[in-house]
A and B are shown apart, each in its own frame.
Chain A
């Protein structure tokens, strides 16, 4: 195993730990905490999928990562607008 593959595995493990931390933050009672947790989870899973595509050669992982990267922040912005309320413009 070369050093590049080893560092990819280490990054994947770090991202898995970060994804678990994000899920724990998302389970707090505030809606804002849920938004922070889900935003972190979406980019962590997208990066894991790109690494999986690089290591194992599964091509459709990159398509799912593209959808996550584009739709994750859009969903976060939309939900934050609802959280903000309609009275403030």
Chain B
């Protein structure tokens, strides 16, 4: 039974690793000349955030995962809001 749990944990960790690698590829892939590319990068950041939350849950840190699950959308919204009213309007 423990072997099955270990296999499921390993599969989920590998899935998180794939998502993190895709996020790293995607965050570098967009050119800086594209207008408002920051919103796309915030979107990609959300993918990596959720992959890290999945990894934290599997590694036995559910409180950290829950705290970041609550805080990450606020941070992403604050970045987008600050960019919209701060830099994008200039």
Residues in B with CB closer than 8 Å to A3 are 6-7, 10
Closest chain A residue, CB of each to CB of B61: A50
| Alpha-carbon distance A24/B25, docked complex (angstroms) | 12
Residues in B with CB closer than 8 Å to A31 are 86-87
The proximity string for A residues 4-46 relative to B, scoring 1 for CB distances below 8 Å and 0 otherwise, is 1011101101110110111011001011110110011001101
Contacting pair A18 B21 (CB below 8 A)? yes
Contacting pair A7 B64 (CB below 8 A)? no
Segment 40-84 of B: residues with Cβ below 8 Å from A: 41-42, 45, 48-49, 52, 55-56, 59-61, 64, 67-68, 71-72, 74-76, 78-79, 81-83
Residues in B with CB closer than 8 Å to A79 are 82
Query: Count of B residues near A, CB < 8 Å?
Result: 46
The dominant DSSP class at the A interface is: helix
| Alpha-carbon distance A54/B55, docked complex (angstroms) | 12
- The verdict on A36 contacting B42 (CB below 8 Å), with A10-B17, A11-B14 known, is yes
| Alpha-carbon distance A45/B24, docked complex (angstroms) | 14
- The verdict on A76 contacting B79 (CB below 8 Å), with A11-B14, A31-B86, A40-B27 known, is yes
Chain A nearest CB from B60 CB (Å) reads: 7
* Partner among A2, A62, A73, A77 whose Cβ is within 8 Å of the Cβ of B6: A2
Contacting pair A69 B10 (CB below 8 A)? no
| Alpha-carbon distance A77/B87, docked complex (angstroms) | 16
Find the residue from A50, A79, A85 having the highest chain B CB count within 10 A: A50
Q: A15-B20, A74-B71 are in contact. List 14 more A-B contacts (CB 8 A).
A: A4-B9, A10-B14, A21-B27, A31-B87, A35-B82, A36-B41, A36-B42, A39-B75, A39-B79, A43-B68, A44-B52, A69-B64, A70-B67, A72-B75
